[in-house]
Amino acid sequence: MFSLSRFKHMNLKGDLFGGVTTAIISLPLALAFGVASGAGAEAGMWGAILVGLFAALFGGSTSLISEPTGPMTVIMTAVLTTMVSKYPEAGPAMAFTVVMMAGAFQILLGTLKLGKYVTLMPYSVVSGFMSGIGVILIILQLAPLLGHQAPPGGVPGTLSAFPELFLNLHFSELFLGILTLAVLFYMPKKYRQYVPAQLVALVVVTLISIMLFDTDSIRRIGEIPSGLPEIVWPTFTPELFTEMVIDALVLGTLGCIDTLLTAVIGDSLTRTEHDSDKELRGQGVANMIAGFFGALPGAGATMGTVVNIQVGARSPLAGIFRALILMAVVFVAGSLTEPIPMAVLAGIAVYVGINILDWSFIQRAHKLSISQMAIMYGVMLLTVFVDLMVAVGLGVFISNIMVIERLSRVQEQHVKAISDGDADEDVPLSTHERTLLEQAKGQLLFFYLSGPMIFSVSKAITRQHRHIGEYKSMVLDLSDVAMLDVTVSLAIENAISDALDANCQVFIYSPNKDTSEQLQKFDIRSKLGEHAFCKSREQALTRALEAMEENSIQA
């Protein structure tokens, strides 16, 4: 699974800079996501370390940075809240068991070589669920931003409790949160290239909080334990096993989508190509190990990956350096986190949520396509108020139905049935072939299909051969059919059967090997005989005319 070939473009200086820079970026985010999830700052830190290290070692990309991300944190928060509410003592272990199961699911997807299919979904659906996750992250941070513990019940619980939270807000913590957001939004761009805004906000606002407020007057993180995290053994209960499996599928699928989308961005910057299946296996191993040590799950992080590439990193060595630097911070400087206010981390998490929102598509969706806009907002609302899997499933289903409907309208134009040589100029008949068709005097039906024939075209085929009883011969031209699916094959079989029942002889021109093999599966060759299969369009028309003459003589 480990491959040295990914290190062949190793650039020690660039990889070291990449590791240091991305570690600085990851530090405030890891703390913020750890606290936001309810698992604690140490879970976020160890998630950044373990996921980043093992994804770099076993992944399929050269420059991807993996760590806890906003989308993964949102799902993990819901899982942890649900498990703890039902089993206060075993709940945390069950939540991290879900993380292990999600990792195993990712490994399975990679092993089955399904990586290339993970991101095959309409952009409106991707935009909708990512924006929905951003909205969830913002809503869940409202309580910490106002100086309170997050109320139970997720998004509905927070929204229902908001009036009470607002009436009893802690001005000191709200001030620190707003100050954090002000630094994040208004820090000049010329300074951001030297130091990440999240780190500046974390340090500056923490120092301000120490100067203006007593240590005990506002909620603070506290010291991160400097030792290794405790092992979490897999824990199951029969009552929640099905729910745990579903949560693992959601978490694993989201991690796959998040990672592979980021990997594509990395490929475009480095002019390389990642191995999606290997990347999924690497992410799965990383998340299984993270769950085993009670750490947050992670995925490919866009910001960290882009910065990593921009500073010169070209191999997974940057991800390894980054994990080692963060590990050193935990072991040596864990006490420095003690005075960090919770409101600062809430502000950072809100900023991440705002950035997750797909503003570009939201602003233009109504101009691009009303239907895609409806899908995007529908998926977003379902993600926020119902369930991510339901949102994605319905979004993909409706989008695909709409695409199929549009494709069927286009493909119906490639189903032609003519009996007059001058009837349709789009049918590729030579002058001589049109003459042959004219000789039939309207008694020969030339049935021409072209392009990929998918199931939505079957109705058009049925409509075209509805009056087959009016003809004495039919020529079925499949020379330009690139693909023939089962439904269309059945429609063709029915057309041939109807023709034979009406004493209309059928001749087929199908030079494409795949198309002929598909027809053979329906025993059409045995029904018609070898004589019915022709080597050219002209031969098919000639045989159809001859058959008509023979029938006339016999009659």
Whole-number pLDDT of residue 495: 85
Whole-number pLDDT of residue 1: 60
Q: For residues 436 and 454, give the distance between their C-alpha atoms in angstroms, rounded to a whole number.
A: 31
Task: Provide the residue count of the chain.
Answer: 555
Max distance between CA atoms of the chain, in angstroms, equals 110
Looking at the chain, the whole-number percentage of residues with pLDDT higher than 90 is: 34
Measured between alpha carbons, how far is residue 481 from residues 451, 477, 511 in Å? 5, 9, 10
Looking at the chain, the whole-number percentage of residues with pLDDT higher than 70 is: 97
pLDDT over 80 (residue 350): yes
pLDDT band at 69 (very low <50, low <70, confident <90, very high): very high
Measured between alpha carbons, how far is residue 426 from residues 415, 416, 448, 450 in Å? 11, 9, 10, 11
Whole-number pLDDT of residue 411: 74
Phi, psi of 477 (to 5 degrees): -100, 110
Q: Are 318 and 65 in contact (CB under 8 A)?
A: yes
Residue-wise pLDDT for 260-309, tens only, equals 988 888 888 888 888 899 999 999 999 999 999 999 999 999 888 988 88
Sign of CA dihedral 131, 132, 134, 138: positive
Q: Are 1 and 281 in contact (CB under 8 A)?
A: yes
pLDDT over 60 (residue 234): yes
Domains and CATH numbers, the chain: 11-218+229-402 (no CATH), 413-554 (3.30.750.24)
Residue-wise pLDDT for 180-232, tens only, equals 999 999 999 888 878 888 889 999 999 999 999 887 788 888 888 888 899 99
Q: For residues 210 and 502, give the distance between their C-alpha atoms in angstroms, rounded to a whole number.
A: 93
- 405: tokens are 């409907």
Sign of CA dihedral 90, 389, 35, 159: negative
Whole-number pLDDT of residue 104: 97
- 461: tokens are 């085929």
Residue-wise pLDDT for 138-180, tens only, equals 999 999 999 888 887 788 888 998 899 888 889 999 999 999 9
Residue-wise pLDDT for 371-390, tens only, equals 888 999 999 999 899 887 78
Q: Which residues contact 526 (CB under 8 A, 6 or more apart)?
A: none
Mean pLDDT across the stretch 473-483? 86
pTM of the entire predicted model: 0.81
Residue-wise pLDDT for 411-457, tens only, equals 777 777 787 755 656 677 888 888 888 888 888 888 888 877 777 77
Mean pLDDT across the stretch 337-359? 90
pLDDT band at 319 (very low <50, low <70, confident <90, very high): very high
